[in-house]
């Protein structure tokens, strides 16, 4: 007889494993199917974690190279041991993927390693690497299969010289010239890693700005700072092909609206023009789960168009972020268990882990204008923040947008030191529907970077106090 469960989750990334943990905690008999050897999905294996490990190490390398001497610290000749840096990254990944496996045991989740496919109502077929298949049964099936790299026609990824983020996290040596296609979050994070380690980085971006989803003021400041660091941008241009030669690659570009063909040489090309939902071979048609034009599975409170089939994380709508997938996972398990479950995407923060970091939550100024919503804005530069001055990290600013009438915070945008940690305060403020005056009247320790948040909030009120 087939193994039977309350819930079967297909995909062991942040969406799937958090859904499994919560389902286990709520007493549901839960199975998790993952086709990778390790749990943790894109995020732990080839995404958030390895990229942040390399961002951290490369930032320290650059700090030692360019800034230690200014602080009176001498370290002798700087050397890069890339293999060791990669090994340390791998150990961070292993520690966390092992941790997820432990959490599955702790929460009594049965893990099946193999490819899962829906095989009719309440049935999931799992095929192991050896080709052996078994069919499991459940009242509820959760799709948590995540996303994959969006391919670029004419540019074939081989993960050696023409790489996706996965290959860019595993390069065997520092490329002399790296071309990045797409000035989005992966392009700027992984472009930063290799630039710090010695690559000449050129970023080709289709639109006329970097980080197009971010608030305009932040995106403009980011471009200037990256240029100052030595990144070259080719904006409003598209890559039409990459020719592979024995000695290197030739990247052919033209203007975004056509014409003006140009080319340049590169040793490695990184393709990062976005990610698309991954639902290949999932048997969606066996139960009638619909997808939209871009392949996403639409949902209504995580329910798909098929009875008993749910969807969470990158495979469905909303920001393609690990913490969003986690929140979806927990809320979905709660709904399956008959409890209330809800995720507020407006208060989901978004962080780019470059130097300086860039973080945002809520609406951008451009979005509010598009909505015709009346708002007030407050902005405060780190140049005027005492802690930023003491650590000589004065680039950037905090910007807060609040409703013109009610003063409710509608969006917050930070570019500057530790922006990724600081945005949590504003995400919490938005979750509690705080006003900018609430933040402005909250005591913030001195001297801290977070005082810049308070000052920006005071700026909305028109009573900024610091210099």
110: phi then psi, degrees, rounded to nearest 5: -90, 120
**In what order do the strands lie in the sheet containing 262-266?**
237-244, 249-255, 262-266
Residue from 67, 301, 392, 446 carrying the catalytic annotation: 446
Q: How many residues bind ligand FAD (CB under 6 A)?
A: 35
Strands 162-163 and 147-149: unpaired
- Distances from the Cα of 222 to the Cαs of 352, 359, 369, 383, 442, in angstroms? 11, 11, 21, 15, 29
Asked if 178 interacts with ligand NAI (CB under 6 A), we say: no
User: Which of 152, 180, 282, 460 is in the footprint of ligand NAI by CB under 6 A?
Assistant: 152
Comparison of 147 and 436: residue with beta carbon closer to ligand FAD = 147
Please say which residue, 321 or 331, places its beta carbon nearer to ligand NAI: 321
Using an 8 Å Cβ cutoff, are 18 and 332 in contact? no
Site for ligand FAD in 356-415 (CB under 6 A): none
Size of the site for ligand NAI (CB under 6 A): 25
From 233, 163, 230, select the one nearest 198 (Cα to Cα): 230
Q: Which is nearer to ligand FAD, 241 or 308 (CB)?
A: 308
Which residues in the 268-307 window bind ligand NAI by CB under 6 A? 272-275
Query: Smaller CB distance to ligand FAD: residue 78 or 133?
Result: 133
Q: Residue 24 or 191: which CB sits closer to ligand NAI? A: 191
Between residue 229 and residue 288, which ones bind ligand FAD under the rule CB under 6 A? 278, 282
Q: How far is the CB of 460 from ligand FAD (least distance, A)?
A: 28
Identify what 144 binds: ligand FAD, ligand NAI, none; CB under 5 to 8 Å per kind. ligand FAD
Residue 383 annotated as part of some ligand binding site: no
Q: Centre a 10 Å sphere on the Cβ of residue 408 and count the other Cβ atoms it contains.
A: 16
CA separation for the pair 98, 85 (Å, rounded): 20
Give 304-320 as a DSSP string.
-SSTTEEE-GGGSSS--
Min dist. Cβ of residue 206 to ligand NAI (A): 4
Listed ranges 4-12, 138-146, 175-183, 298-306: which one lies at the site for ligand NAI (CB under 6 A): 175-183
Whether 446 sits among the annotated catalytic residues: the reply is yes
Query: What are the structure tokens assigned to 253, written together?
Result: 């570009």
- DSSP single-letter state for residue 347: G
Q: Does residue 182 have a known ligand-binding role? A: yes
Residue 449 is a binding residue for ligand NAI (CB under 6 A): no
For residue 154, the SS3 value is coil
Residue 269 CA to residue 250 CA, distance in Å, equals: 9
CB of 325 to ligand FAD, least distance (A): 4
**Residue 268 vs 272, nearer CB to ligand NAI:** 272
Nearer to ligand NAI, 28 or 273 (CB): 273
Residue of 134, 121, 131, 129 whose CA lies nearest to 31: 134
Which of the listed partners (ligand NAI, ligand FAD, none) does 12 bind, with a CB threshold of 5 to 8 Å by partner kind? ligand FAD
Choose the one of ligand FAD, ligand NAI, none that binds residue 10, judging by a C-beta under 5 to 8 angstroms depending on kind.
Answer: ligand FAD
Cis upstream peptide for 205 (omega within 30°):
no
Task: Give, as ranges, the residues between 13 and 32 that touch ligand FAD (CB under 6 A).
Answer: 13-16
Distance CA 269, CA 46 (A): 18
> Contacts with ligand FAD in 299-328 (CB under 6 A)?
313-314, 320-323, 325
356 with 417: CB under 8 angstroms? yes
Decide if 386 contacts 368 (C-beta within 8 A).
no
CB 124 within 8 A of CB 289: no
The DSSP output letter for 151 is: P
> Residue from 34, 62, 205, 326 that binds ligand NAI (CB under 6 A)?
205
CA atoms within 13 A on the CB side of 233: 24
325 binds ligand NAI (CB under 6 A): no
Smallest separation, CB 281 to ligand FAD (Å): 6
359 is in an annotated binding site: no
34 near ligand FAD (CB under 6 A): yes
List the one residue from 8, 54, 321, 415 that touches ligand NAI (CB under 6 A). 321
In the numeric block, the tokens 């958030």 are attached to 48
Burial 72-93 (b: 16+ CB within 10 A, else e): eeeeeeeebeeeebbeebeebb
Catalytic residue ranges: 446
Q: What is the contact surface with ligand NAI in residues (CB under 6 A)?
A: 152, 181-187, 189, 204-207, 212, 238-239, 272-275, 320-321, 351-353
Annotated binding site for NAD(+): 182-189, 205, 274
């Amino acid at each position: 007889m087939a193994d039977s469960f309350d819930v079967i989750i297909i995909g062991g990334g942040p969406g799937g494993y958090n859904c499994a943990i919560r389902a286990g905690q709520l007493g549901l008999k839960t199975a998790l199917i993952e086709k990778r050897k390790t749990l943790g999905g894109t995020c732990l294996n080839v995404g958030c974690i390895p990229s942040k490990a390399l961002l951290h190490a490369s930032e320290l390398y650059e700090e030692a190279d360019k800034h230690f001497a200014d602080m009176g610290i001498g370290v002798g000749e700087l050397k890069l041991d890339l293999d060791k840096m990669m090994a340390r990254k791998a150990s961070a990944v292993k520690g966390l993927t092992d941790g997820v496996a432990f959490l599955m045991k702790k929460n009594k989740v049965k893990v099946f390693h193999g490819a899962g496919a829906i095989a009719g109502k309440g049935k999931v077929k799992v095929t192991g690497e050896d080709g052996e298949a078994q069919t499991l049964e459940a009242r509820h099936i959760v799709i948590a299969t995540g996303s994959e790299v969006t391919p670029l026609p004419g540019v074939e990824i081989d993960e050696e010289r023409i790489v996706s983020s996965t290959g860019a996290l595993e390069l065997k040596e520092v490329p002399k010239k790296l071309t990045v296609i797409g000035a989005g979050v992966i392009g700027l994070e992984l472009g930063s890693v290799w630039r710090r380690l010695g690559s000449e980085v050129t970023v080709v971006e289709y639109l006329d700005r970097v980080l197009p989803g971010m608030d305009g003021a932040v995106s403009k400041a980011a471009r200037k700072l990256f240029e100052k660091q030595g990144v070259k941008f080719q904006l409003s241009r598209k890559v039409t092909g990459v020719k592979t030669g024995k000695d290197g690659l030739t990247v052919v570009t033209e203007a975004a609206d056509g014409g003006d063909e140009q080319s340049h040489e590169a040793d490695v090309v990184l393709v990062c023009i976005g990610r698309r939902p991954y639902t290949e071979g999932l048997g969606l048609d066996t139960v009638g789960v619909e997808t939209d034009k871009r392949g996403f599975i639409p949902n209504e409170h995580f329910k798909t168009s098929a009875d008993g089939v749910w969807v969470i994380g990158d495979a469905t709508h909303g920001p393609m972020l690990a913490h969003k997938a986690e929140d979806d996972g927990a809320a979905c398990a709660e709904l399956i268990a008959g409890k209330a479950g809800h995720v507020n995407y407006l208060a989901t923060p978004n962080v780019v882990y470059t130097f300086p970091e860039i973080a945002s939550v809520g609406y951008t100024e451009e979005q509010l204008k598009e909505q015709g919503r009346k708002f007030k804005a407050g902005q405060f530069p780190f140049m005027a923040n005492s802690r930023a001055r003491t650590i000589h990290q004065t680039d950037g600013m905090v910007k807060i947008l609040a409703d013109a009438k009610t003063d409710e915070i509608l969006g917050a945008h930070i570019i500057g030191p530790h922006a990724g940690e600081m945005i949590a305060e504003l995400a919490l403020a938005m979750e509690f529907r705080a006003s900018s005056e609430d933040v402005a009247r909250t005591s913030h320790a001195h001297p801290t970077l977070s005082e810049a948040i308070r000052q920006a909030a005071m700026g909305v009120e028109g009573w900024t106090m610091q210099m």
